[in-house]
Amino acid sequence: MKTLNLGILAHVDAGKTSLTERLLHDVGVTDQLGRVDAGSTQTDTLALERQRGITIRSAVVSFVLDDVTVNLIDTPGHPDFIAEVERVLGVLDGAVLVISAVEGVQPQTRVLMRTLRRLRIPTLIFINKVDRAGADPERVFRAVAEKLTPAVVAMGSVAVPGTRGAYCTPYGPTDLAFTDRLLDLLTGQDDVLLADWVADTSSLPYPRLRAALATRTSRALVQPVYAGSAITGAGVDALIAGITELLPTVQGDVDAPLSGTVFAIERGPAGEKIALVRLFAGTIRVRDRVRVGAVDAELVTAVRVVAHGADVVASAVEAGHIARLWGLKHARIGDPVGVPPERGGADRHFAPPTLETVVVPTRPADRVALHAALIQLAEQDPLINLRQDDRRHEITVSLYGEVQKEVIQATLADDFGVGVTFRETSTVHVERVCGVGEAVEVIAVAPNPFLATVGLRIAPAPTGAGVTFRLGVELGSMPPAFFTAVEETVRRTLRQGLHGWEVPDCEVTMTHAGYWARQSHSHGTFDKSMSSTAGDFRNLTPLVLMAALARAGTRVHEPVHRFRLEVPGDVLGTLLPALTRLDAVPTDTTGQGASYLVQGEIPAGLVHALERRLPALTRGEGVLETEFDCYRPVRGPAPVRTRWDNNPLDRKEYLLAVARRVGGR
C-alpha cells in the first residue's frame, strides 16, 4: 500500500491540533471529536500538553484514505518548541500549513513557509477558523500571496465568514474565474502548457489543468489554498480530497538495502529508550541487528507500527512507514538506520536557541538525579545543549523562550521527581575566529606532560560552514585512533572559546603529529609511561588548540532578530527614541495610512524588553513580529563565561586543567 507521511504545521493557536482531531474523526478513526480545551485530543497525550492546551511533543497517528496509508504528524506551533518541528521536516512527504482566518499570517507562519519552500516539501495551505468572529479569509489569502508565496490558488469560496453558519464551496470546472486563475498560474510556470494553449485554447480542458496542478503541487511549485473550520467541519472534506489528489505518495522498496532515519527519541514506562524511525527503504524485523549511526549491530527487540490511529505491535516495519523501535540503546536523533538516506531527520533548518539558563536543584542532594534527568531530556531534544561546568558545579541548558523553561521545570518535577529553579535567562553568544593562529607541543619537550606531538592551525570559515578538521600531515604517520582522538577533541573543545562561548565556522588543520610506539619490558608487560595512547592526544589537543585560538583571536557575536512593528502614526515620535535605547536599529519606516510600519534589527536579549514596553509606548495598539536574523559583533565590552584574569591559575596551568577535564582525568 502507498504511504503519505503528512505534517500539520502552524503558528501557535491557529488550530492545527483541532484540525488533526477533525481529520481523524471524519475519516473514521475516532468516534468522538477531541477538543483541545477539554484535554481530550488524540495527539496531545502529555499531561502538561492537556493542562496548557498547547502541543509540546510531535505525535504520530495513522489512517487510511482510499488506498493510501496517511501517517499524520501533529507538530508544536509555539516557537519555543521549534526544535520538534525541525526534527520532523526530514521525514515528511507533504505538509498542511494551517493559518487562522482571524489572526492571519504570523511570524511563525512565515518561518515555516520559508522552510517548507526551501526544502521543497509539497504543501497545502488551510485557512482555519472561518466561523470565528472577525474571520476574513479573503484578506488572509491576499496576505498569503503577498507575504508567503505568490504561487497560490484558492480552491473554494467561503460564505458568511465570521459566523457559526460559515460554509465552504469547492470550485469546479464551471467556475470560470477559478479556471482562468488556474490557467494563468500553471501556464506561467510550464512552457509546454503555455505553448499548447497558444496553439489551441481548447487543448487545456479542466481534467488536464487538475492533473497539471497535482504535478506542480507535488513538486512544491504551487501551494493550493483551502479554507474552513476544524471545529464545525466546514471545508474539511475538500481538504481531505486535496490531500489524496495533490500530495505525493510513496511506494517504498521493501527489498532494497535498509535506509531510514531516527527523528525522535522517547522513553517508555520503565525508562527504556524508544526510537521513532521513518523507513525509506528495506524492512526491519524483530530480532534483526541493524546499523544505527556509528553502531554496527543494534538488536531490535520490539516493533510497534503507527496504524489506524494508534500504535500496534508488529513483527516488522516496511519501507514508507513510521515505527517505534525498542532495543536501539545508542540511537540518537538524526542517526541514519542502515544506509544514510538522501535526507536526514536532524538537519538544521531553523536558527539555534539564543537563550540559556542555569538549572538549580531545589535540594542540593538531587544534583546527580538532575543531571541524569536532563541527559534523558537532551536525548529527546538535543538543542537544549546540556552543558555542565565542573568548576562552578552548574548545569546550563539552551532555550528558545520562557515557556520552554516552564515545561522543563514541570517535566522534571512530574516525570523525575526533581524540583528545580532557574537563574535569570541570558543570551547565548558565539565567538568567531578573527585571524589565523598556530601552536604546537612536541613530545618529551617541556612543559608538554603528554606522550604526544600535536600541532594545530585555526582559521576562520564562512558563516554556516561549521567546524572543518583537516590533516596537514600524512595519514599514515600515526595510528588512525590517534587522529580520531584529536578530531573529536577539537570539536569538543571548540564548544568553549577564549571567552567561554562556542566557536563555530572555522577550519582546523593538524600541522604536526608524533607519538611513541607501544613499548614493553623484556618480560612482555606493557609500559604506559613509555607508550603513547589516545588519552595523551585527548589531553594535549585542548592545550594546543586554545593556544592557537589565542593567537588567532576571537570576537564575541550576539544574536540579532529582525523586527516588524506596526504602530499608530502619532506615537512614532516617542517610539523611535525608545527603540534606540533598546539598541534596536530601524532600517525602514513606511507610512500606511494612519499607521506606520517600522522594520529593523534588535539584539535577541532585548526582544522581551521591547515586548514588555510596547503596550505603554503604543497605547496597546502596536503589533510586533520578530525572528532570528544573524549574529553580529557585540558593541562594547564582550560578555564572558570564563575570565582568564580572574582565574588563580596562570594561562598554561589553566589550559592543562582544561585538557585533563576534557580527557576525563
Which residue do the cell numbers 521493501 mark? 254
Kindly report whether the peptide bond that precedes residue 648 is cis, defined as omega within 30 degrees of 0: no
User: Is it the case that residue 645 has pLDDT exceeding 60?
Assistant: no
Q: Which residue has the higher pLDDT, 520 or 150?
A: 150
According to DSSP H, which parts of 119-187 are helical? Answer: 137-143, 176-187
Output 102-105 pairs: Cβ under 8 A, ≥24 positions apart: 102/129, 102/132, 102/133, 102/134, 102/135, 102/136, 103/11, 103/13, 103/14, 104/136, 104/139, 104/140, 104/143, 105/140, 105/143, 105/144, 105/147, 105/148
User: Is it the case that residue 102 has pLDDT exceeding 90?
Assistant: yes
Asked if the 431-552+645-660 domain carries CATH number 3.30.230.10, the reply is: yes
Give yes or no on whether 2-246 and 259-338 have one common fold. no
Nearest to 456 by CA among 472, 468, 434, 445: 472
Q: What distance in Å separates the CA atoms of residue 299 and residue 273, rounded to the nearest whole number?
A: 13
pLDDT of residue 108: 78
Fold classification of 355-428 is Alpha-Beta Plaits (3.30.70)
- Out of 52-66, 179-193, 373-387, least confident range: 52-66
Contact between 98 and 15 under an 8 Å Cβ cutoff? The reply is yes
pLDDT of residue 55: 55
Q: From 3.40.50.300, 3.30.70.330, 1.10.10.10, 3.40.30.10, which CATH number describes the 2-246 domain?
A: 3.40.50.300
Q: What distance in Å separates the CA atoms of residue 373 and residue 418, rounded to the nearest whole number?
A: 8
Region 84-89: what's the mean pLDDT? Answer: 76
Residue 81: phi and psi, rounded to 5, are -115, 30
**pLDDT tens profile 320-339:** 888 999 999 888 888 899 99
User: For the chain, what is the mean pLDDT?
Assistant: 85
pLDDT of residue 353: 82
User: Is it the case that residue 460 has pLDDT exceeding 50?
Assistant: yes
Q: From 3.90.1150.10, 3.30.70.240, 3.30.70.100, 3.90.226.10, which CATH number describes the 555-633 domain?
A: 3.30.70.240
**pLDDT tens profile 281-298:** 999 999 999 999 888 889
> What's the predicted TM-score (pTM) here?
0.75
pLDDT of residue 68: 86
pLDDT of residue 83: 67
**pLDDT tens profile 117-151:** 988 999 999 999 999 999 999 999 999 999 899 99
User: Is it the case that residue 43 has pLDDT exceeding 90?
Assistant: no
Domain boundaries, the chain: 2-246, 259-338, 355-428, 431-552+645-660, 555-633
The H or E element containing residue 376 is helix 367-380
Q: Which residue has the higher pLDDT, 662 or 603?
A: 603
User: Is it the case that residue 80 has pLDDT exceeding 80?
Assistant: no
In the structure, what pLDDT confidence band is assigned to residue 472 with cuts at 50, 70 and 90? Answer: very high
- 259-338: CATH number: 2.40.30.10
Q: Which residue has the higher pLDDT, 182 or 108?
A: 182
Region 206-210: what's the mean pLDDT? Answer: 92
pLDDT of residue 664: 47
**pLDDT tens profile 546-577:** 999 999 999 999 999 899 898 998 999 999 99
Q: What distance in Å separates the CA atoms of residue 266 and residue 252, rounded to the nearest whole number?
A: 25
DSSP classification of residue 80? G
One-letter amino acid identity for 436?
V
DSSP string over 583-633: T-EEEEEEEETTEEEEEEEEEGGGHHHHHHHHHHHHTT--EEEEEEEEEEE
